[in-house]
């Protein structure tokens, strides 16, 4: 099918030969495209919006043919949430709680621990009303209920949020898994010790607790000093080792105590060289071996992960490491491996490989997902395929039979090897009846949920099948036959009717009406022509209206459009004729026409015709009380510019002055012949008309002469003021406060803004307004006191003022209105110790306002947001990288900018300005106080010794970069910004400001004295080789708090 634009042009091609009064039924049907051939299925990739008979691509594809019933709903099969037979139950990851889930699964598979927990007294569960939800309170109660659900729940996975909440853990922050293991077992031991059943009080010790002693032997006297201790896990250093035996050997190896680390011997009563080692005395039934993968890096100040391969056996003989008690069982079997995926200590994912004590099968527990290993063997698999960030990726060593190798295992759990003739009943742990009641209730709730989901799926499927039958029935009826009755239905409604995801509303055709209450010709592309039987069924089932049949084709709109289009065609001919006529030499009487109007007259005429055409568009019409609706018609004529405020609106308006006469600007108009004016006048009957003999506006001529006279006066005034204040204008022989000038004991003060505005007038007297008043009240507080001291002016407050000689002040007093003279006096006094010089101001300093000024200034420096600071890199010899010239990318016109006057400040829009009661503007000074002002005070210039004004804009040097910071930002966050700017890792950064080192990463920039425009010096150390630590820096946003404030620490 032809594109929409071609269809619309074809619909109106007949207007070239048919006048509006000759329009017949066939022309109306052409305009509404009633007889355009319908598209066949497969011929269109998408629906033809320009063709009202195209019913392809409106969403019918999803309904024609056979449909899988699963397409009628978006509800997952509830049975996918059901636990598979002969498998275990997973645990939901609540955000970053995978480390909790792994340990819970390991402890659940410790049958002795599970059996003991089930024996714990729980009156709340035993007495609980099964009609309400059970909410455990203590840690034991939570763990009991959780283990019972893990054992007998029908769900594929359960939610551990009750236990996590009871422990007070932050579900969004990943914690140290090894620390969690220690703290939780300690908490559980303390809880079980309070049980009345004696067999439960020492469960944790019996399962996990062993004994060793630190033995120190004096080299002088040979005296051995043992220090007994208990352990719940052995923390093994893996750095520099390849297998578990090496790690255990190092843990037990002898340590020499000499030098400053000598041992005080009780026998010798003095410090002596000695040796110290750990002796293992007894081992627990469950031996937890912590592989110390997460270590503290002194260079970075943070933890990092050691991705070292460690080999460990399935069967571990601890006999060689045990001291005495040879009757102990020392052979252990591997029962669990806890894995940390990832290269960083602050991110990654925890999973567990656990051996089923009953079947000896290995399972991988990954939160909700549980996978059984094939062949009853431990298979670490993908856990060892995590890519390293360091360039030198270690190769996985070969493992002997019965051994495994991992660079991600951080904890190994071994259990004492059981004798072969152990009773099978020892591996069976039954859930107590009081807990099974609660599990049954949860299973009942789960089954109800499954039934509810299945019913919802069935309802959706039944509804979809009914809709399928309806669509197949109606879609066959939709096409309108030639010569048969038809109606127009909105295309968007048909699409929504065929879109099963949205509810079908009633048919609304009101937006398609023209001002005459019929179907607008421009809206036919957004409607579809359907057969009368199909329309009747749709309106019968869904309602709506108004209905648009063949009598709704609007003859009035078609006639008006015909008239406008014919005029547009005539416009092109007239444009060519006028273009030729204006090139001819003018003879006879002429008419004044604006040059801009003459250049764009066709566009202006087209706009006029478009306005006439809009009268028939429904965007300007209202029917039955309905509001206007937007439309778009760009098919005929060029697109008109949008959003241009300077586009001409009325022909010849630019030669019409404000008094209604002919403009005095002859360059903006030209003469055209009467023949040209006649043609233009036909298009613009209301345009202003000026003959060749029309005189320009006399009022405008008078104003022009007055303006020339005023410019001459301004030039004379500027030259006179410049001659009288030449040194002030040229900034020569200026007085300074750093070295009081001889020959005078008084200097006068005016705002620097007054001097800048005055210089602007002197430079451009015809472009700038003359300065009439000094406005010294700007430098005074509301009480009339001066705002600055002599010392503060020396310290930088001089950026607000300009100093004048007494003779210059006399001139300024004559030339300008002075609201309040301000002077600074120097007086010498002779004392017994010598002469002293004192400085005073008139008016005197207002101490109250001055203290407020300083307080606000200091507060602003501490509470800034989005301020600029500069970081300057320091080279090896500790000299700053300074250059004689600014960076090459700095503005090449800086010097010129400094010579030019500062930009004007719009007082009405500047938030630093407020209106005082007397109507005078008040400007906020840098300290936040206000003062009455005749104008704003720019702070872009300062008076420096010698009286030369300089720009205060920071000139960036090579090796220096600007950063945007806030006062409440930490030094740690600043270091990360610097890392991105200079490619220097935070742990390689040595920062200082004004010679003071910045070391506290947790301190805010405001507390460290970093203020806007500060320059921070950066000295970079040599980078370390382990760039994996960079990942740790990205992950740590704040100092570690560990389990502070959680239930694991008794809070």
Catalytic positions: 98, 349
3-class SS of residue 765: coil
- Other residues' Cβ atoms within 10 Å of the Cβ of residue 203: 22
The two tokens of residue 334 are 């591997």
User: Which H, E and C letters describe 492-522, residue by residue?
Assistant: HHHHHHHCCCCCCCCEECHHHECCCCCECHH
Q: What are phi and psi of 750, to 5 degrees?
A: -135, 160
Report in angstroms the alpha-carbon separations of 724 from 718, 730, 747: 10, 12, 18
DSSP letter assigned to residue 219? T
- Whether a cis peptide bond, with omega within 30° of 0, leads into 843 is yes
Residue 41: closest CA among 475, 469, 473? 475
Residue 776: closest CA among 852, 839, 841? 841
- Number of residues assigned to the chain: 1051
The span from the CA of 208 to the CA of 202, in Å, is: 10
The span from the CA of 859 to the CA of 927, in Å, is: 9
Residue 749: closest CA among 731, 736, 763, 762? 736
DSSP letter assigned to residue 269? T
Task: Give 34's contacts (C-beta < 8 A, 6+ positions apart).
Answer: 52, 486, 529, 550, 553
Residue 67: closest CA among 440, 498, 485? 498
DSSP-assigned letters across all residues of 335-403: EEEEEEESS-TTS-EEEEEEE-TTT--EEEEETTEEEEPGGG----GGGG-PPPSSSSPPPPPP--TTE
Bridge pairing between strands 90-91 and 157-158: parallel
Measured N-to-C along each axis, helices 139-152 and 177-192 cross at an angle, to the nearest 10 degrees, of 110
Residue 940: closest CA among 899, 908, 889? 899
The burial class, CB within 10 Å (0-12 / 13-18 / 19+), for 149 is buried
In angstroms, the first-to-last Cα distance of the chain is 75
The span from the CA of 1033 to the CA of 1020, in Å, is: 16
Report in angstroms the alpha-carbon separations of 770 from 132, 160, 611, 707, 758: 87, 79, 48, 15, 7
């Amino acid at each position: 099918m032809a594109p929409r634009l071609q269809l619309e042009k074809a619909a109106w091609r007949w207007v070239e030969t048919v006048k509006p009064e000759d329009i017949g039924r066939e022309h109306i049907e052409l305009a509404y495209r009633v007889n355009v051939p319908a598209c066949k299925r497969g011929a269109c990739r998408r629906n033809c919006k320009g063709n009202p008979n195209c019913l392809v691509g409106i969403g019918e594809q999803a309904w024609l043919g056979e449909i899988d019933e699963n397409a009628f709903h978006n509800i997952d099969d509830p049975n996918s949430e059901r636990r598979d037979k002969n498998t275990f139950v997973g645990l939901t990851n609540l955000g970053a709680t995978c480390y909790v889930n792994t340990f819970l699964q390991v402890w659940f598979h410790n049958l002795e621990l599970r059996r003991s927990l089930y024996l714990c007294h729980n009156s709340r569960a035993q007495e609980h009303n099964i009609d309400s939800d059970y909410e455990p309170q203590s840690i034991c109660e939570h763990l009991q209920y959780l283990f019972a659900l893990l054992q007998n729940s029908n769900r594929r996975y359960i939610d551990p949020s009750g236990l996590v909440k009871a422990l007070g853990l932050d579900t969004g922050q990943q914690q140290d898994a090894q620390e969690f293991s220690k703290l939780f077992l300690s908490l559980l031991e303390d809880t079980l010790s309070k049980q009345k059943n004696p067999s439960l009080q020492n469960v944790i010790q019996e399962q996990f607790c062993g004994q060793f002693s630190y033995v120190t032997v004096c080299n002088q006297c040979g005296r051995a000093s043992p220090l007994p201790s208990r352990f719940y896990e052995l923390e093994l250093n893996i750095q520099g080792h390849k297998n578990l035996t090496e790690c255990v050997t190092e843990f037990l190896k002898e340590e020499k105590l000499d030098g400053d680390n000598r041992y005080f011997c009780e026998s010798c009563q003095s410090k002596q060289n000695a040796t110290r080692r750990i002796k293992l005395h007894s081992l627990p039934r469950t031996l937890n071996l912590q592989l110390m993968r997460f270590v503290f890096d002194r260079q970075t100040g943070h933890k990092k992960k050691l991705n070292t391969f460690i080999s460990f056996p399935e069967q571990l003989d601890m006999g060689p490491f045990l001291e005495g008690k040879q009757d102990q069982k020392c052979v252990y079997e591997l029962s669990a491996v806890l894995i940390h995926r990832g290269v960083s200590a602050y991110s990654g994912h925890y999973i567990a490989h656990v051996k089923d004590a009953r079947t000896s099968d290995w399972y991988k527990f990954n939160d909700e997902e549980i996978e059984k290993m094939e062949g009853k063997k431990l298979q670490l698999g993908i856990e060892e395929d995590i890519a390293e960030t360091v360039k030198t990726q270690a190769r996985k060593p070969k493992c002997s039979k019965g051994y495994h190798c991992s660079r991600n295992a951080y904890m190994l759990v071994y259990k004492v090897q059981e004798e072969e003739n152990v009773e099978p009943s020892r591996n069976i742990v039954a859930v107590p009846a009081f807990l099974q009641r609660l599990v049954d209730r949860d299973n009942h709730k789960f089954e109800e949920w499954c039934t509810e989901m299945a019913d919802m799926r069935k309802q959706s499927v039944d509804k979809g099948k009914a809709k399928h039958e309806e669509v197949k029935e109606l879609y066959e009826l939709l096409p309108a036959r030639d010569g048969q009755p038809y109606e127009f239905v909105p295309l968007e409604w048909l699409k929504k009717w065929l879109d099963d995801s949205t509810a079908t509303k009633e048919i609304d055709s009101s937006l398609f009406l023209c001002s005459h209450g019929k179907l607008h010709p421009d809206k036919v592309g957004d409607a579809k022509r359907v057969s009368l039987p199909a329309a009747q069924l749709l309106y019968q089932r869904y309602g709506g209206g108004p209905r648009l049949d063949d009598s709704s084709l609007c003859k009035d709109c078609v006639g008006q459009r015909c008239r406008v289009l014919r005029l547009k065609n005539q416009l092109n001919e007239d444009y060519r004729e006028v273009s030729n006529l204006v090139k001819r030499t003018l003879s006879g009487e002429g008419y004044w026409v604006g040059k801009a109007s003459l250049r764009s007259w066709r566009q202006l005429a087209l706009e006029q015709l478009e306005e006439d055409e809009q009268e028939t568009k429904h965007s300007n019409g209202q029917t039955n009380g309905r509001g206007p609706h937007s439309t778009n018609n760009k098919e005929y004529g060029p697109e008109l510019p949008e959003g241009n405020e300077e586009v001409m609106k009325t022909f010849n308006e630019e030669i019409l002055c404000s008094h209604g006469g002919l403009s005095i600007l002859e360059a903006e108009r030209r003469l055209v012949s009467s023949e040209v004016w006649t043609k233009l006048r036909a298009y613009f009957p209301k345009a202003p008309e000026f003959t060749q003999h029309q005189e320009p506006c006399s009022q405008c001529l008078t104003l022009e002469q007055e303006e020339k006279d005023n410019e001459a006066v301004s030039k004379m005034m500027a030259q006179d003021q410049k001659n009288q204040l030449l040194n002030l204008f040229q900034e020569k022989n200026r007085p300074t406060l750093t070295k009081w000038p001889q020959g005078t004991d008084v200097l006068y003060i005016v705002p620097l803004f007054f001097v800048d505005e005055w210089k602007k007038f002197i430079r451009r007297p015809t472009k700038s307004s003359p300065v009439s008043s000094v406005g010294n009240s700007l430098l005074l507080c509301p009480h009339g006191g001066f705002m600055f001291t002599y010392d503060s002016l020396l310290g930088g407050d001089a950026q607000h003022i300009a100093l004048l000689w007494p003779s210059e002040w006399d001139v300024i007093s004559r030339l300008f209105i002075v609201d309040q003279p301000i002077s600074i006096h120097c007086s010498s006094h002779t004392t017994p110790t010598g002469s002293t010089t004192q400085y005073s101001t008139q008016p005197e300093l207002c101490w109250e306002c001055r203290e407020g000024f300083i307080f606000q200034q200091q507060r602003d420096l501490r509470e800034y947001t989005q301020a600029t600071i500069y970081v300057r890199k320091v080279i090896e010899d500790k000299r700053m990288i300074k250059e004689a010239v600014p960076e090459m990318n700095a503005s090449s016109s800086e010097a010129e900018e400094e010579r030019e006057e500062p930009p004007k400040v719009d007082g009405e829009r500047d938030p630093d300005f407020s209106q005082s009661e007397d109507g005078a503007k008040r400007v906020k000074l840098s300290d936040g106080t206000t003062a009455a002002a005749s104008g704003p005070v720019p702070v872009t210039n300062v008076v420096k010794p010698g009286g030369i004004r300089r720009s205060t804009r920071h000139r960036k040097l090579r090796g220096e970069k600007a950063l945007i910071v806030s006062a409440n930002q930490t030094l740690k966050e600043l270091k990360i910004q610097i890392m991105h700017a200079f490619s220097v890792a935070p742990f390689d950064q040595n920062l200082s400001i004004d010679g003071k080192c910045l070391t506290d990463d947790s301190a805010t920039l405001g507390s460290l004295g970093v203020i806007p425009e500060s320059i921070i010096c950066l000295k970079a150390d040599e980078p370390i080789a382990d760039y994996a630590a960079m990942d740790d820096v990205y992950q740590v946003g704040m100092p570690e708090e560990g389990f502070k404030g959680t239930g694991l620490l008794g809070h």
